[in-house]
Structure 1
């Protein structure tokens, strides 16, 4: 329980810092307000309802505080804990029912699977909407149902004993802390459909048994299907490889190795996906740092070839230096790196005009180059130095202001196109839902 509180606190602070960098705090405050106005409609013990006075007080804090954490309120926090536990119990009965169907060799009803998927994705959506921790059992059940629907796993490959044991352990902890009034029953060889539907209706997860106002917080069904891009991407890992013209020395060995590992092992451990998504993230950062170094070294050449002109017109230099600022910021938000060093520092150099002379620019470039080389070693590609970039013919051409600006814009356009390709290839999954998924993992991924 203590670990869960710490993890959530760290996650929330990080996320809201990210939102600040994203300039979308107003939208998040609107989401908070929408959820707060529904909080008493979400099923839960009566003593966890907010009075009108409490609700108005929390709404006022949210309006005034851009970094307001919705689950800091004691009633909301305990309500969400109990909701997680009740959702976990419901997940157990879904797994019980699937076990019954498969043991008795009954035909798996596709309509029932679709209903289970909708119920589970609505569970995940409500926690994605509030950026809260989701219990491991809910994830295990949801991915299993998704895999069955998408025919990525056979009924015989489902690890029923492992999954139901994990869920039962969570339910025992919930019972211990009074977040469940009783322990769920043990498996019996019968259908659990009536139990599933009854609980789903009570929890307002079943279609037709919740108000239309819940559609806003249940809208993230696609994002909840975190394996969709891994299963459905026809080009597999190759879609994340940068163009040769952009990154001539890139070697796909590392990301291919990770992809092959996850492809062969995910059925035994759903959290293996995190190894692949971590590799995608590092791969994007590798390409980003490569582009930044190329950009900076081109500017160094500009300094050397026309140092008097640039020194006398610092605003023009800042304009050139900041050309990739927007795309770098987008990548930082997408990867959750905006609030971490060294990425945060590189971003701040551009935002705050910290590069004021050639020496500053060289030091900045050296730091980015160090990060690039750290990732290069990880990806089994040759490391870089200044000369390897300065040997580029486009950089050693005689200096011309318009040519320089056009070239730097081309570098940025290349990075923008690659980033869009990565985003599209991972869609609808994002690193926010993956971070929520990762909170269940006890080892470093």
Structure 2
């Protein structure tokens, strides 16, 4: 693979560095003197922050990218996006501070009140700070995007792990995480907002919200699927089976990270009324490159998962490997990008409807297949539902925009890779194990 530094690869590397730092923090914490309860409190902090912000933050940031036609519009747009994200972050922080103790009693008592304050502060800083990467992306400042990714990931490691080494406890780690968000917020002001025109635009706000609210709904619906799966498993099985399912119900993070970063990075190419064919060709070319190494990597994991699951965990989690292998098949739908075209051409209304269809199909199939195949049936329902959603969106792109599937996907290569991966899955699950 020849790696050429573009805005796409820069955005992908930025997200990989962020994810890598979070993984490393988890590993170091697990090896430290922190107890499982303390680590659980840190994970709970991140879970609450994500659960009240992931859907609107994801939707608004994606709806932001296709809007810009000139440099002046970039400035006005980012300032108004900052205002909108700030209002929602304040609301989310106030909500968590008001009722967080009811949802999660562990945050109340002892240092509980300070943790609620830190959670509210983290939401206030981290939401708007997410604009920085998107600003560098739209401005095509590739080296800045990489440098900021290195700086942010390194700062996160230092801020969260130094309290571990100096035995400041989990409260010190959470304060470090809030400090990391604060520094990112300061960077936003120094490198982005300081040079922008501070001009409120109601017209921009309406356009941004119009494009983004379907994406917000889509993120909310898609994010609900894992909770629906967990509820179905828990309603039929005990805690041990639920744990086996949760340990295996993880798709290859590299696939989702690279695919989502690519999808976001390509969106500005649709802005300004430029030739759509050029953007479609770029999607076809870049998605083929990702397929060239992500499909073989998935095949390697299929062949080895039954060996490393008992090794990394214990023999009780052997069945998790089968669930994990099924989730690896999500790569077939992850590397299809009809939603990127719809967002880029500002046709976002179809996306939330497709996500609702995916959620309903996933729930119905899970309830049906769990009767025949157990927890593997729930995993298969997820794979089928995701693929059905992408096929439906591809049909919508053809019907509404007149853009054929082959113009933005290498169908032959995608089909060959998918069939080979399914063959490897059959050999592993039906013959070898």
The structure in which a higher percent of residues are helix is: 2
Structure of larger gyration radius: 1
- TM-score normalized by structure 1? 0.26
- TM-score normalized by structure 2? 0.27
